[in-house]
A and B are shown apart, each in its own frame.
Chain A
Amino acid sequence: MISQIPINLIRFFLLLLAQILIFSNLNFSSFINPYIFPLFILLLPFETPRWLLMLLGFFSGLALDMLIGSTGMHAAAGLLIGYLRPFLISIITPKGTEFEISPNIYAQGLTWFAVYLGVATTVYLGFYFVIEAVTFYNFFFLLLKTILSVFMSVAFMLIFLYLFSSRKKRRFE
């Protein structure tokens, strides 16, 4: 369990840098805002206690907020998926599945991950866009923006996972 701390720390800084230097600078269009940063909370070990998930979601979101100037909004969204993550995992995982220490794309498979990331990112971005500008945008724009952004975000997240996941099975450690 201890060995999970450095790897998650490295992942945190890697995702934060990738988010602020690349993905927040892409400026595709107003319809597409890709965020890969939620991946940090989504890849924490399965046995992380729920209060810790929430606190990590909150503080990691706050760090991103400070760097891109969206005070409090990513913190709110990160907190929300930290709170909902255990529900989500228990819903989408078949009973009796053996778990690795953390979610791994080679262990859980692409389908599981696509559903997991898809639902979590929809919740995250939907919530984020709503608190960002609920009265400013009309409903259909908000909906379209959420759908397109989720699609792009999940695509980038999967690329990130295939690039940086370890293929090694850790089950018998």
Chain B
Amino acid sequence: MYNLFRFFLRYYLFILFISLEFFCFYLTYRTKKYNQAAYNNFGLAVGGKVHQSYTGISDYLYLRRMSDSLVNENAALRQRLIESKFDNKVDSTQVNDSVGRYVQHFNYITARVIYNSVDQASNLIYLNRGKLQGVSRQMGVFNANGIVGQVISVTDNYAAVMSVLSKDFKVSAKLKKSEYFGNMHWDGINSTTATLEEIPKHVPVKVGDTIVTSGFSELFPRNIMIGTVKKVKTQADKNFLEITVNLSTDFGNLSYVYIVKNIRRNELQSLDSLSKKND
């Protein structure tokens, strides 16, 4: 007993060091394992406030650039309005079903980026929207240029987003032309490229082809821009192509983004659990 006591007295610093170090690893491992679900909400709330007030100041410096990009996007959206189109179809049998043909599937919540990083192994983005504004976990985030990421935790007024530039981020993407789909993930070093996998070898892919979201996950609607093909690599021993994608989103310069609210998400999830039960 005395020896044990002496042992602790002698090595208490080392024991303290090791135990605290294990506690740190536990924290890191816990957030990694649950896809950062257990991410510290207190930190997000405090950090959100700090970053919000800082953004409030720095916004003044970029007002012109921001309003320019918003005006451009408005113009692009106006072009897609029905009023901007000329109807050249003469089809007398067409029935105008104004009752229930189109039901809302996705709603969009606008948000301002208040903190952003691009040079870590897992980059986080903070947004100034949270639970009270209707944001919850597992919602997709995109902007006018392309996809941005996925919400991983929310507090009352702030949300933390796992950026596309994260080692744990995966998104279902397809080639716009041929509709073949695969998984896209970031390769870790360059903030402008990502890798698209699981496209079969026989699919013709050319440099410059557009890559968009497939709409198979509940995160994003169909056909949201992701990027263009930069390089196609065929490997003799594999059945799939390895495609390098030029991301269309400029992650170093994010200001306003849209959060995707999937109205049918609960239904999809219950279907998913139902089919699992039946297996």
Contact = CB atoms under 8 A, between A and B. Distances in A.
Nearest to B119: A30
Contact of B46 (A66, A76, A141): A66
Interface in B24-66: 24-28, 30-31, 36, 39-40, 42-44, 46-47, 50-51, 54
The CB with the most chain A CB atoms within 10 A, among B39, B42, B117, B126, is that of B117
Given A51-B13, A54-B16, A83-B17, A136 B47 contact: no
A69 interface: yes
B189 A32 contact: no
Contact of A30 (B17, B54, B191): B191
A67 B47 contact: yes
Nearest to A74: B24
Nearest to B253: A27
Contacts, number: 110
B92 to A, nearest CB: 59
Contacts of A133: 121-122, 167, 188
A36 interface: no
A21 B54 contact: yes
Contact of A137 (B26, B50, B121): B121
Contacts of A28: 119
Contacts of B190: 30
A76 B21 contact: yes
From DSSP, what is the main secondary structure of chain A's interface residues? helix
A136 to B, nearest CB: 5
B20 A72 contact: no
Interface string B109-122: 00000011111111
A68 B191 CA distance: 19
B43 A66 contact: yes
A72 B27 contact: yes
B189 A141 contact: yes
A58 B22 CA distance: 12
B208 to A, nearest CB: 25
Contact of A76 (B25, B30, B43, B115): B25
Contacts of B47: 20, 66-69
24 contacts: A20-B50, A20-B51, A24-B117, A27-B119, A28-B119, A30-B119, A30-B191, A33-B119, A54-B17, A54-B20, A58-B24, A68-B124, A69-B43, A71-B30, A71-B36, A71-B39, A71-B43, A72-B24, A72-B27, A75-B20, A75-B27, A76-B25, A79-B17, A131-B28
Interface of A: 20-21, 24-25, 27-33, 50-51, 54, 58, 61, 65-73, 75-76, 79-80, 83, 129, 131-133, 136-137, 141
